[in-house]
Amino acid sequence: MDVREGPSVVFFTQGVNVPSSRFRVGQFLPHFEAAGVRSTLLPARPSTQGDVPWRWAHGRRRALFKPLSIVSRLIDLPKIRNHDVVFLQRPLLKYYTTILEKIVTTFKRTILDFDDAIFNNLLGLESWRLRRIIELVDHVIVGNQHLYDFVDEPRKTTIIPTVVDTRRYQMRPDPVGRFTLGWTGVSSNLKELRLIAKPLRRVLAATGGELLIISDRISESWLRELPLRFVRWSPTVEAEALAAVHVGLMPLKHTHYNEGKCGFKLIQYMARGIPAVATPIGANKQIVRHGIDGFLADSDRAWEEALLELWRSGDVRRAMGERARVRVESDYSIDAVDERRHTQG
């Protein structure tokens, strides 16, 4: 007889080190196990999201792994029979098909999770595919209100923001030394910094400061014209490297895709007690409370004024950072999500 102590869930993720896979699935697995939920992680191999050891396999070259990802998923698919629930961290394939989701949902209770506006493309094929998958699954988890509105199925949709473990991301003291602006994220998103190129240059010149980039590589050559420090990203350094940052940056162009972003880098900054300056778009407007734990800026002048104020006044910077930390603890931490889950039953 097959005797199990609790339910079992199999998680199909985009990769191992892909940020959304790590923070929306991976960091919760010990908590699930502690609660008696048997968990199995099945990442795409190789990942089409750049989660591979080869530095050449970035940008458009990631598409080379799409055919191999089909083989990976077909090998793993039979493993669903040993579990009660299937959790899909985004669609299973990078192709415009729902055939694997149809198979999975025919036999198992299935949850779909996504944290970006992956339904935005020129031909509308991604939107069509995602809506079909939403119809098939039993429940949908999204990262913010914009994605919730797209799903348009209130009875089977839950908003869970992408959160941090505040035991890993601890409050750091305000750094001593050179004024440092920080940005963290995957290199494909470094292009967003072009939006604030002018105020960045002026502020760094006026303060004698530097820009710290924590990423897999520097994909934008113009950034090397700035006083720049680069830290190569890895899971072991991502939190610690932020200790040197005085102010975190999250500029975003006003696009339909960016409306769906979950503002996770803001949460990373704020968890470490770093005030952030961000474009007021999508979830950024909910995460940053303007003038309280950071600033929202939508023009070159606003960016420059916000950054200079945080440079001039260490007291303002530290007070905002302390409030930012409290904000993350109460709304954007693993503990906060666990508490809401227990409250909702």
234 vs 292, which has greater pLDDT? 292
SS3 33: helix
For residue 339, pLDDT beyond 70: no
Contacting residues for 195 by C-beta, under 8 A, at least 6 apart? 251, 252, 253, 279
- At the fourth CATH level, the homologous superfamily of domain 180-331 is Glycogen Phosphorylase B; (3.40.50.2000)
The string over 46-72, giving b where at least 16 C-beta atoms fall within 10 Å of a residue's C-beta and e elsewhere, is bbbbbbbeeeebbeeebeebeeebbeb
Assigned CATH for 8-160? 3.40.50.2000
Instruction: Report d(CA 205, CA 86) in Å as an integer.
Output: 52
CB atoms within 10 A of CB 103: 13
6 vs 167, which has greater pLDDT? 167
Q: What is the mean pLDDT of residues 131-136?
A: 97
Rounded to 5 degrees, φ, ψ at 134 are -60, -40
User: Which pairs with CB-CB distance under 8 Å and at least 24 residues apart come from 61-65?
Assistant: 63/94
For residue 47, pLDDT beyond 70: no
Instruction: Report d(CA 127, CA 8) in Å as an integer.
Output: 30
Mean of the per-residue pLDDT values for the chain?
91
Out of 111-115, 118-122, 329-333, least confident range: 118-122
SS3 63: helix
Instruction: Report d(CA 317, CA 276) in Å as an integer.
Output: 10
Q: Report the pLDDT value the prediction gives residue 62, as an integer from 0 to 100.
A: 57
One-letter amino acid for residue 246 of the chain: H
Q: Report the pLDDT value the prediction gives residue 6, as an integer from 0 to 100.
A: 81
13 has which bridge partners? 43
Read off the pLDDT of residues 296-334 as tens digits, 9 standing for 90 and up. 999 999 999 999 999 999 999 999 999 999 999 999 999
121 vs 190, which has greater pLDDT? 190
11 vs 186, which has greater pLDDT? 11
Q: Report the pLDDT value the prediction gives residue 338, as an integer from 0 to 100.
A: 77
Out of 10-14, 47-51, 150-154, 190-194, least confident range: 47-51
Q: Report the pLDDT value the prediction gives residue 340, as an integer from 0 to 100.
A: 61
Task: Please indicate whether the domains covering 8-160 and 180-331 agree at the CATH topology level.
Answer: yes
Read off the pLDDT of residues 146-191 as tens digits, 9 standing for 90 and up. 999 999 999 999 999 999 999 999 999 999 999 999 999 989 899 9
pTM: 0.90
Instruction: Report d(CA 269, CA 11) in Å as an integer.
Output: 28
Q: What is the mean pLDDT of residues 14-23?
A: 89
Q: Report the pLDDT value the prediction gives residue 129, as an integer from 0 to 100.
A: 93
Q: Report the pLDDT value the prediction gives residue 225, as an integer from 0 to 100.
A: 93
Q: Report the pLDDT value the prediction gives residue 345, as an integer from 0 to 100.
A: 42
Residue ranges with strand state E in the chain: 8-13, 38-43, 85-89, 109-114, 139-142, 157-159, 180-184, 210-215, 228-232, 247-250, 276-278, 294-296
Out of 64-68, 198-202, 237-241, least confident range: 64-68
Which of 231, 163, 220 lies closest to 189, judged by CA?
220
Q: Examine residue 275 and say whether the peptide bond preceding it is cis (omega within 30 degrees of 0).
A: no
For residue 3, pLDDT beyond 60: no
Q: Report the pLDDT value the prediction gives residue 74, as an integer from 0 to 100.
A: 92
Domain ranges of the chain: 8-160, 180-331
